[in-house]
Structure 1
Amino acid sequence: MSLVIPDEFLQTAHISEADLKLEIAILLFQQEKITLGTASQFAGMNQLEFQRILGSRKIPIHYGVEDLRQDLRTLEANDWR
């Protein structure tokens, strides 16, 4: 699925495309809709960078066994080896 966000919207919101993607990733992660790995990948950064941002915002990292399994499936599906 592709989502087109007009440049005018980004300008009005005073946000870059990268920052909007980061905000979406953080929101979905906070709502436990996506894992840490998926969120960091969507935001275009490694997990450590993403975790640092979460930490700076005092957002807890809820990461359990099922999250690890999902991240492993994601990595295998994307052939990140």
Structure 2
Amino acid sequence: MLLELDDQIVQSTGLSPEELRIELAVQLYKQEKLTVGQGGRMTGMGSVKFQQELGRRRISSPFTKEDLNSDLETLAGLFQ
């Protein structure tokens, strides 16, 4: 799917199309509507650079109690 925005709307933000794409991806990531991989594809940055951009903005990955428990179970299984 291609998303088109009127040039005047893009210009009114004061951002380049690339900057606007990054801002949109970051906001969707913060709302947990995009993964790092999806954000990387959306911005054309790739997941590693997108994750670096998130870090630069001090945006952490959502990490739930369930994620922690899963990681602890995985680690426990490695040492059995």
Assess same fold via TM > 0.5.
yes
Gaps of 5+ in 1: 65-81
How far the C-alpha of 1:48 sits from its partner, in A, is 1.4
| Residue in 2 that maps onto 1:39 | 39
Q: Percent identity?
A: 34
| Residue in 2 that maps onto 1:25 | 25
How far the C-alpha of 1:28 sits from its partner, in A, is 0.9
Q: How many residues align?
A: 64
Bigger radius of gyration among the two: 2
| Residue in 2 that maps onto 1:53 | 53
- Cα deviation per residue 1:1-29 (whole Å; 9 max; x = unaligned)? 43321111121211111111111111111
4+ residue stretches of structure 1 with deviation over 4 A?
none
Gaps of 5+ in 2: 68-80
Greater RCO, 1 or 2 (C-alpha within 8 Å, sep 6+): 1
TM-score, with length taken from structure 1: 0.68
CA RMSD of aligned residues (A): 1.6
TM-score, with length taken from structure 2: 0.69
* Amino acid paired to 2:12: T
CA distance in 2, matches of 1:8, 1:47: 30
